[in-house]
A and B are shown apart, each in its own frame.
Chain A
């Protein structure tokens, strides 16, 4: 399924140079490729059926590509203009030597060099207008990020801009007949009480909501958002289906408990404007 989609997209994009699809559909296809990629570069094919790193066996799907311009890559990855990258192409019949294209890829093998799996490629007229291509990829990434955030907003039970007034240990109802476990992966659940300043979805200004988050430093919870007293932000809140105890109390009054465990669930206060726009966007 994934492969078929990628092939169709690659085929669609390969016509960009011939201006077959309109700009909107081309950008849509490009956005789909960007969504699946973590290493994107403009490069020129130098060898077919070959590899640039000894760790990868050569096949009829491997090509060596000289990097002309890196458009996106993770910070940890060492990849620069002039490097040779081994690309596992999405299908046989890869571009001929000398062909320049924008390669949308994911990291495959990292050793003395980089080998990537192609998600798709976009043929370009040599020389590709680098600045133009950079701008289109940046725009596509922005669209991907907006789509991801909108999906998170739609899944959230409540979206608020507010301020953390209090942090306290969570008092979770123990599961019947089950003793508390002692494990280094224990979440050490905490509760943040947030004073809602702006209810963007499912809440009103002035309301207080309780958000559970892990206080543990364990590796299992690395990257999970944390809360501190005085913290202001835009929060995407989900009904607590993680701890097994869906309610808590504020001043002795039972209230639903929420979680915000994804990095997109905790945004800056300034992001409220963007979130509001995405909520309104059809």
Chain B
């Protein structure tokens, strides 16, 4: 075991500087990486991209996960699957319980206060309407219950919390039917999903819409933050955007929520964390076969809601394709740091803050060039705002294989959460069973032969390499 604590300069533009020499990260005790595809689907070759994870604080055994995994039954299937685990993520089963034909076109989910309630927001196939769903038992074979639905929505992103024995559900989404091109919206349910109210959170003019990522984060004291992209203008495929954070101090339960954080420049709700950044909107393979343009994450310290982190990706313009930035506020979003991290050619940043205040940053970065390029999935942790951090490489896999079947290649997002002394998350990657690709080790449920680096089907025949979802847990820095 070797833990590398790496000091990095806190710079406003790390990407502009020469790379800081870093010792190669070693194997860290207590890390688990598990391929979610079960042994009974060993012949699976789909591109299981854009994974997501939900877990209970009260029951560490129960987890739910999703990806663009199809119903194994084929294209006529009326349902799509989720993965569930009842042993803390050591093993997973796939259950067809989502009301979407074959698979979903977007999905995120979050647990309720009482296990095993689960809320999900999906874009349903066909037609892609938003479906806000609930099940009181995600192990049940029953199809999840539809609670609300409407068209013209993008990227529903679900978070939930329990207040006075009632689940509150926050679904960040881009609502193209919102007036005046101010499309950043949060659907809020204060009654366990029985009813939802749509709240518009953009207060400034846009180019006609906001970016697709609208990300809520909820603290235990009911403070709710939401990060979004304020798209202001467009030139070709480049969008000029602000990175905006709004806040509500009472669980967004009032008639005009998300008005508690004003920007000093115009006194409008929504603090401008960064202004006039360039978002390269590319709906084509651009970074290691992945499209780019919507990476955004926010996390609040659940016990100390003053502390909040935001991560986004843009193009800095120094030869980068896409650069992830991380910033922090310690005064409820009133003021923000400069870049604590700036990670060149990276995407899918996900943040979480553990109960001891340690921040976790999951991201996926392309290293190398051409046929030697690799997708490297890392979890960084820091207790001091990234003055120093621990770096764990979870996977380093070829970026050019397998060829993409569709976009997103690995996902427009992945997932990171925390519970107790663990960060728990999920990412998608090339599934070649090669120990060198997984420096922390890896457990496959599906049939594999590590000696020959081959995937095997039920009969022992070789199976083509594809993209699989991988669950992981990493101990939080003490």
Judged by a CB distance under 8 angstroms, whether B233 is at the interface is no
Q: Which of B73, B212, B447 has the most CB of A within 10 A?
A: B73
B291 near A181 (CB under 8 angstroms)? no
Candidate in A76, A184, A221 with the most chain B CB atoms within 10 angstroms? A76
- What would be 15 A-B contacts, judged by CB atoms less than 8 Å apart? A38-B72, A76-B46, A78-B457, A79-B458, A106-B77, A108-B141, A114-B40, A179-B209, A182-B234, A183-B174, A185-B123, A217-B407, A219-B50, A220-B123, A222-B406
Closest to B283 in A: A184
Structural contact, B105 and A220, CB atoms closer than 8 A = yes
Which residue on B lies nearest to A117, using beta carbons? B141
Question: Which segment, of B90-98, B249-257, B260-268, B295-303, faces chain A?
Answer: B90-98
Partner of B406, one of A76, A112, A180, A218: A218
Q: How far apart are A18's CB and chain B's nearest CB, in angstroms?
A: 32
- Any A CB within 8 A of the CB of B452: no
With A74-B74, A76-B43 in contact, do A184 and B294 touch (Cβ < 8 Å)?
A: yes
Chain B residue with minimal CB distance to A181? B176
Whether B40 and A219, one on each chain, are in contact in the complex, defined by CB atoms closer than 8 angstroms, is no
Determine whether the beta carbon of B181 is less than 8 Å from that of A76.
no
Shortest beta-carbon distance from B245 to chain A in Å: 22
Residue in chain B with minimal CB distance to A219: B406
Count B interface residues, CB 8 Å: 62
Give bound CA distance, A74 to B327, whole Å. 47
Is B128 part of the binding interface, using a Cβ–Cβ cutoff of 8 Å? Answer: yes
Which residues of A does B touch, CB under 8 Å?
A: 38-39, 55, 74-80, 88, 106-114, 117, 179-186, 188, 216-223, 263
Give the residues in chain B near A216, CB-CB below 8 Å: 283
A78 in contact with B43 (CB, 8 Å): yes
Mark interface residues in B265-295 (1 if CB within 8 Å of A CB, else 0).
Answer: 0000000000000000101110000010110
The residues of A that contact B91 with a CB separation of less than 8 Å are: 111-112
B248 CB-CB contact with A under 8 Å: no
With A and B bound together, what is the CA distance between A105 and B73 in angstroms? 10
Q: Is B44 an interface residue (CB 8 A)?
A: yes
Main secondary structure of the interface of A (DSSP, over half): loop
Instruction: Report A260 CB to chain B, min CB distance, Å.
Output: 15
Decide: A182 and B281 in contact? CB cutoff 8 A: yes
Q: Which residues of B contact A219 (CB under 8 A)?
A: 49-50, 68, 103, 105, 406-408
- Give the contacts of B370-426 with A (CB-CB under 8 A): 404-408, 412
Cα A188 to Cα B76 in complex, Å, equals 25
- Asked whether, in the complex, the Cβ of B75 is within 8 Å of the Cβ of A223, the reply is yes
Contact A77 B181 (CB under 8 A): no
Nearest chain B CB to A188's CB is how many angstroms away? Answer: 8
Lowest 7 CB-CB distances: which A-B pairs, in order?
A78-B458, A111-B93, A38-B73, A76-B44, A220-B105, A179-B208, A222-B406
Q: How far is the CB of B346 from chain A (nearest CB, A)?
A: 19
CB interface residues, B 203-241, toward A, < 8 Å: 208-209, 212, 231, 234, 239
B154 on the A face (CB < 8 A): yes
Which of A55, A185, A188 makes the CB contact (< 8 A) with B154? A185
CB distance from B386 to the nearest CB of A (A): 30
> Closest CB of chain A to B327's CB: distance in Å?
25
**Given A107-B73, A219-B49 in contact, is the A78-B406 Cβ separation under 8 Å?**
no
In contact, B41 and A217 (Cβ under 8 angstroms): no
Which of B43, B106, B291 lies in contact with A75, CB distance below 8 A?
Answer: B43
Select one of A79, A111, A182 contacting B209, CB under 8 A.
Answer: A182
Among residues of B, the one whose C-beta sits closest to the C-beta of A112 is B39
Q: Are A222 and B96 in contact (CB under 8 A)?
A: no
Q: How far is the CB of B294 from chain A (nearest CB, A)?
A: 7
Q: Which residues of B contact A111 (CB under 8 A)?
A: 38-40, 91-94
Instruction: Give, as a whole number of angstroms, the nearest-CB distance from B150 to chain A.
Output: 15
Q: Which of B93, B103, B212, B405 contacts A110 (CB 8 A)?
A: B93
- Binary interface profile of B, 15-46, with partner A (CB < 8 Å = 1, else 0)? 00000000000000000000000111111111
Contact A183 B74 (CB under 8 A): no
CA distance A217 to B106 in the complex (A): 15
Q: Which residue of chain A is the closest to B94 with respect to CB atoms? A: A110
Residues of B within 8 Å of A110, CB to CB, are 38, 40-41, 72, 93-94
Interface residue from A77, A88, A183 paired with B41 (Cβ < 8 Å): A77
B443 at the interface (CB under 8 A from A): no
B58 within 8 A of A: no
- The reply to whether the CB of B318 lies closer than 8 angstroms to some CB of chain A is no
Q: How far is the CA of A88 from the CA of B140 in the complex (A)?
A: 13
16 further contact pairs, Cβ within 8 A, besides A80-B459, A112-B445, A219-B50 = A55-B93, A78-B40, A78-B458, A110-B38, A110-B41, A110-B72, A111-B38, A111-B93, A114-B40, A181-B176, A184-B283, A184-B412, A216-B283, A217-B406, A220-B128, A263-B75
Tell me, in angstroms, the Cα distance from A117 to B96 when the chains sit together: 11
Name the residue among A74, A79, A218 with the largest chain B CB count within 10 angstroms: A74
Shortest CB distance A53–B (Å): 8
Assess whether A78 is in contact with B407, with CB atoms less than 8 Å apart.
Answer: no
Contacting residues of chain B (80-95) with chain A, CB-CB under 8 angstroms: 86, 91-95
B71 close to A (CB within 8 Å): yes
Closest approach, in angstroms, between the C-beta of B63 and any C-beta of chain A? 14
Q: Provide the residues of chain B in CB contact with A75, threshold 8 Å.
A: 43, 45, 457
CB contact between A106 and one of B43, B73, B283 (< 8 Å): that residue: B73
Known: A74-B73, A77-B72, A216-B283. A184 touches B94 (CB 8 A): no
Contact call B39/A109, Cβ cutoff below 8 A: no
Task: Report whether A79 and B40 are in contact in the complex, using a CB–CB cutoff of 8 Å.
Answer: yes
CA distance A54 to B50 in the complex (A): 28
B93–A217 contact, CB under 8 A?
no
Of A77, A106, A217, which is within 8 A of B284 by CB? A217
Select from chain B the residue with minimum beta-carbon distance to A113: B40
Contacts of A217 in B (CB 8 A): 283-285, 404, 406-407
The residue in chain B whose Cβ has the minimal distance to the Cβ of A188 is B283
Judging by beta carbons under 8 Å apart, are A38 and B77 in contact? Answer: yes
Report whether B154 and A183 are in contact in the complex, using a CB–CB cutoff of 8 Å: yes
Q: Is B125 an interface residue (CB 8 A)?
A: yes
Q: Are B405 and A222 in contact (CB under 8 A)?
A: yes
